Structure formats: structure tokens, C-alpha cells
Structure 1
Amino acid sequence: MKKSYQIILGVIVVIVALVLGIHALNSSKKSAESATITVGSMNTDYQVWKHIAESKEAKKLGLKIKVKSITDGVQLNNATAQGSVDVNAFQSWSYLETYNKQHKKTKLAALGTTYYEPMGLYSNKYKKVAEIPDGATIAIANNPSQAARGLLLLQKAGLITLKKNFDSATGTTSDINANPKNLKFKEIDDTTGPRVLKSVDAVIISNSVAFDGGLNVLKDSIYHETISKNTKDNINVLATAAKNKDNKAYQKLVKLFHSKAIQAYVNKKFSGTKVEVKKPVSYLED
């Protein structure tokens, strides 16, 4: 009888332990998903996420968001990998992939796509690409990734032809295979683009720099990028530590960004230059 009692008691103890364990696990999971999410960002993206954090849409989804400004991309990714930042909003898919190649032990994962900022070719002298004369000087960024992207834009515009093995991340003017108009290239700090417009025939300027300089890539450039399979690497994403990619609360941030009210704000605030891209991450991986 005593032995049976001990067996029953032992079974009860095991069951109670299992129930408590499951309850603790669920509580921990629920707590983690309802906790304040720290979103790290910079420049214009910081403005966007400050607005999102205070929006009615965030409250409707039950999200508590704290926005943190970190002005260096590598530092921001490191902070995300280490956990002082939960999710970051600033980088393109290609930037994320490059970071992961260089930091294999602290990889990040994309939660979803956000928008695309077209790079543009601007000129105060000419209204069309065809008007650019022989021997014209084109200003390009001295930043390797921006310069390579700019050269691809010039190729798309029909001004140059690049070598077949051109590296879209590190390619330079030495990789130009054909230059029928004998264009000359002047390297500049990519933040000075709008200021050098008067001194050269044309300038390639990233969207954020152009916008800060009072230029709208969709209206003021004589040529600009469009979204395609060739430019999809430049689509921006929300990123988190790889281990957190299935966190439901973090995934809600993607839905929140694409809500009608938030997109209305972004379009008005940035005059349509942050082009919404609502694609699955698999689109970028193909």
C-alpha cells in the first residue's frame, strides 16, 4: 500500500513539474514577444521609425517600440547580433549579405523587405542622357559600393559598357570595357553630390543624399534606377539576429511598416522617393 502511494505521488510530482515547465515556457515566450522592441536605425530611417513607434498602428498590433540611433552601419549590425538592438532598419540586402560574409559567427537574417531608394544621374546642364556630349565629366562617389552601383547605372543608361565579370560591390572605372563618349570621371565624397552639380556635366547621387540636398530622384534626375532583378540587391530590409528570425513580434514590424497609414506618412514625408517594396525574402535570395 505504501509503495503504491509512493508511485502515485511520484507520478503526480512529474505531472506537476511538466505542467509548470510548460507554463513557464509559454509565459517566457509570451513575455519575450510582448516586451519592448528596440529598433536601431540612422538618418532618414530613424525619422520613419520614430514616427512608427508613436503611431496608432503600432498600438493596434500590441507593439511597444523604442528607437535607437547608431550612425555606423557595422556598429549597428554588431549591436543587433549582440542583442542590445533587437531589429535594425537601415540597410540594403547586399549590405546585409556582405556583413554576413565578413561576420560568419554573428550572422543576421532579413525579416522582410521595406523599400527601394533609386540612385539617380543629375545634371544642371542637360535634360536628357542623349544630350551629354563627348568628353563630359561625370562625378561618381569615392565610396566603393556606391561607385560600383553608379557605374551600373551609367551602363543601364547606355553611356558605358562594363566588363562581364564586373563586381557590383567593388567594381571601379578600370572595369569599363567601352566608353564611346570618352567620358571623364571625377571621384567625390558621395555626400557632396548636390553641391558639385554646377562644376561638372553630371553627377550620380544616392537618393538619401539627393533628398537632403533638395532633389527628388523621380522628378529631378535625368535618369534613375528602377526595381528589377538586376537592382533587387539594393532593396532595403528589416534585419535581426539569425536566431530571432522567427520571432512573431519582430515579424509584425514588417506588417506594420507596410500598413496604409505608415506608407501614407512615408510617401508624403519623402515625396515618393522611398518606393515601397512588399516582397518575400525569398525574392531576394533567388
Structure 2
Amino acid sequence: MKKFLRTIGALALTASLVACGTSDSNDDEQATGTDDDGEGEATEEVQSLVVGATAVPHAEVLEFAKPLLLEEGIDIEIQVFQDYILPNTTLESGEIDVNYFQTPGYLAQQLADNENFDFVSVGSIHAEPIGIYSQEYTSLDELPEGAEIIFSDSISDHGRILPIFEDAGLIELDVAEGELATVDNIVSNPKNLQFGSTQVEARMLAPSFENGEGDAIAINTNYALEGNVDIEKYGIAFESDEKLQGNLIVVRSEDENNEAILKLVEVLQSEEVTQFIEEQYNGAVIPLHE
């Protein structure tokens, strides 16, 4: 993962917050134009979608894609969230039509914990490697005996963080195939590293890092970007390429074949959006279409 760090630099990104609102994806607005012969008026349907997303990079990607979608007859309203809870509860309630923020592991955990959630993924757009950051140490090997590693309070993130330490040879995990690791799966920890003894909301990881808490902190890339953490300077380890999880477009199961939503996925996976992601985030966000 170091291969992309050298090109990242310090990213200071801002997201335009769009006013919240609701829409029914089956309600169409009408636009007029000429028919193929240039005579008379033809009616073109414009479909509306409300898309819930976290600010960086998801809402920024959607803002870029908005005019491309309008060309395809889709008008999106972007509702920005600051946490990982509300995007799913508002999807379940019908206040939004789609959300764009979560990984397969997080979605699986949410479905297991909330029997009223009937969601499916309809596409993967990009990946954001979770990183380990430290103000004092420059590699995982430098971490001292009993070092405190601060985690987010999202259990699905633990299954992405712990393998980073296993890959570095600092711990051993015993995890059943297809399951995400937890601290209970650690079977060897020679340095007695303190994993997750301090857990905070994912959005508070960057402020915790800036406050100098812990010996190292595992931060989701979207919150590192949003919090203006210097990824190149302070990132000491990242998820390996083969373990990256895509950030998904998630909908209620009843909308799995909704044409407007499938067109949204198509545009977000297009060459234009892929190029935007590559140029805007310099490798910190990786287009990943599944």
C-alpha cells in the first residue's frame, strides 16, 4: 500500500453540504424538447433520486457525477451525513432512495443487527484503505511493548484493521473463513499491543489523532481526508490491495432493479467518474468496480 502513499500529499478537501429532502424515485418530473424531426414538442422524463452519502469523498463524487446523470435523465439530490448510522435508518424509512458510504462488511453487520433492514448492494464504486497513523512512530515495528491502538467503535472496521497488524507479523489471528476478525480472534500478541481498549466514533478518529491520543490510531480514509490528516506524513501502514473492500451503492431490496438506480451505478462506474476519483484523491481513494 506504500506505493500510493508517495503520491498522496496532504489533502485538504471540503464537501458542499446539500439541503436534506425526500423524494420518491418513481415520481417523474417532465422536461420538454423537440421530436426527432425537429417538429412539435416531445416529452422527456426526468427521474429524481435522493442519495445519502458521507461528505468526503462520497458527496464530492456525487456532485461531480450530477451533470452526467442529468444528461441521462436522472436528477439527484445529495443528502450528506456525518455518521454511519443515519444513512441506513433513513434508507429504511424511505427518506432517501439510495445510500453510498458503506463496505460489504459494514452492510453485513448492519443487516445482522437490524432485522427491519431489507437492503442489497447494486454496485461497488471505490475503495478507501483504512490506515494506521502515528505522530511518534514511523512504522508498525517501532511500536513499543503495550502500545495503545485506538479503534473506531464499528466492529466491522476491526475486521479490516487487525489483518494489517497480522500482515506486519505483530499478531496472529484465528478466523473462520468468510468471517471478520475481532480482538477475540487474536491468538498471539508478543508485544501485548492494546487493541481497541479505547474506541470512539469513526468520525472522531481524526480529532483524536490531532489531540495526540494513543500510540497509533486506525482511521478510515474518508475521515482522514475530511479531518485534513496528513496521510503521507503520518500514515505508517494500510490495508493490502487484495483485502480492500468497495464502498457500495445500497438500496432497499424492492428497488434492486430500479432503472434509475442502475443508471446511477453505471455513471458512477464510468470512465469520467473514475478519472475524477484518480485525479482528485491522488491514490487515497481507489476506483474499484465489482
What does 1:1-286 align with in structure 2 at a 5 Å threshold?
A: 34-44=46-56, 45-53=58-66, 55=67, 57-165=68-176, 171-172=182-183, 174-185=184-195, 186-189=197-200, 190=202, 191-193=204-206, 195-196=208-209, 198=212, 200-215=214-229, 217=231, 220-228=234-242, 231=243, 234-279=245-290
Count of matched residue positions in the alignment of Structure 1 and Structure 2: 245
Q: CA RMSD in A?
A: 3.1
Q: How many Å separate the matches in 2 of 1:143 and 1:163?
A: 20
Query: Which consecutive residues of structure 1, in runs of 5 or more, have no partner in the other structure?
Result: 1-28, 280-286
- Equivalent position SS for 1:222: strand
Where is the helix percentage greater, Structure 1 or Structure 2?
A: 1
Structure 1 residues 81, 164: CA separation in 2 closer, same or farther (over 3 Å shift)? closer
- What is the TM-score with the length of structure 1 in the denominator? 0.72
Structure 1 residues 193, 159: CA separation in 2 closer, same or farther (over 3 Å shift)? farther
Q: How many Å separate the matches in 1 of 2:232 and 2:240?
A: 10
Q: How many Å separate the matches in 2 of 1:210 and 1:177?
A: 30
Superimposed CA distance per residue, residues 103-129 of structure 1 (whole angstroms, 9 cap, x where no aligned partner): 445411111101111011222333333
Bigger mean CA deviation after superposition, 210-219 or 43-52: 210-219
Amino acid at match of 1:65: I
Q: How many Å separate the matches in 2 of 1:183 and 1:97?
A: 28
- Equivalent position SS for 2:241: coil
- Larger Rg over CA atoms: 1
Q: Is the 8 A contact 1:111 1:240 kept in 2?
A: yes
Where is the strand percentage greater, Structure 1 or Structure 2?
A: 2
Structure 1 residues 166, 181: CA separation in 2 closer, same or farther (over 3 Å shift)? farther
Structure 1 residues 254, 219: CA separation in 2 closer, same or farther (over 3 Å shift)? farther
Q: How many Å separate the matches in 1 of 2:116 and 2:175?
A: 32
CA offset at residue 251 of structure 1? 0.6
- What is the TM-score with the length of structure 2 in the denominator? 0.71
Find the counterpart in structure 1 of residue 41 from structure 2: none
Q: Is the 8 A contact 1:34 1:63 kept in 2?
A: yes
Find the counterpart in structure 2 of residue 14 from structure 1: none
Identity, % of aligned positions: 24
Query: Which consecutive residues of structure 2, in runs of 5 or more, have no partner in the other structure?
Result: 1-25, 30-44
Q: Is the 8 A contact 1:194 1:210 kept in 2?
A: no
Q: How many Å separate the matches in 2 of 1:67 and 1:187?
A: 33
- Equivalent position SS for 1:35: strand
